[in-house]
Amino acid sequence: MISETYVEHLVARKSPFAIRFLKTLLIMLAVCFGLVGFGLLYIPAFLLAVASGVGAYFAYMNADIEYEYLYLDKEINIDKVLAKSKRKKAAVYDVERMEVLAPVKSYHLDAYRNREMKTVDYSSGSAEEDKKYMMVYEGNLKIILEPSAEMVRAIQMVAPRKVFSD
């Protein structure tokens, strides 16, 4: 019997103040340099307006980030959605290679807390730790997620000894 479970969850990342400030500053600079360039027909001002506009575009794309978690048949796919228009594949994790998935404050993670491991954060970036889970993958990678309760249950059905929701 083939059993495929499909669960999807979207998490909006909180935009840092520095990125929002940079985006606003670059837009204002692009407008100012554009007006100076058109008013005085000054070529360097045109170039600065274009450079500021390009910088504002990239700041805009990185200011509005969402993570889409997709669980499909023993595989967790994480996509990064930039400004609700551009999608990048961030990572793919196999549930069978996962060591543990538990809430960040869980005692099940005590053995992993002081280990030197690379940490990747695919959460909203908010201070609420009640929703956050940590996944230890292959013993050398800590992954911070905010999965839905439905997604945690789906993963727990496949790996009941590795997933905790205490």
Q: What is the pLDDT of residues 123-150, one digit of tens each?
A: 988 877 778 999 989 888 999 999 999 9
Other residues' Cβ atoms within 10 Å of the Cβ of residue 26: 20
At 14 the pLDDT is 86
pLDDT value at position 3? Answer: 57
Which is higher by pLDDT, 66 or 73?
66
Q: What is the pLDDT of residues 20-64, one digit of tens each?
A: 899 999 999 999 998 988 888 888 888 999 999 999 999 888 888
97-106, 130-139, 144-153, 155-164: lowest mean pLDDT where?
Answer: 130-139
Please, which pLDDT band fits residue 16 given cuts at 50, 70 and 90? confident
> Distance between the two ends of the chain, CA-based, in angstroms?
31
| Mean pLDDT calculated for residue range 64-77 | 92
What confidence tier does 1 reach under pLDDT thresholds 50, 70, 90?
very low
Residue 150, φ and ψ in degrees, nearest 5: -65, -40
Angle at 97 between CA 91 and CA 103, to 5 degrees: 75
Q: Are 145 and 122 in contact (CB under 8 A)?
A: yes
- Mean pLDDT over 7-29 rounds to 90
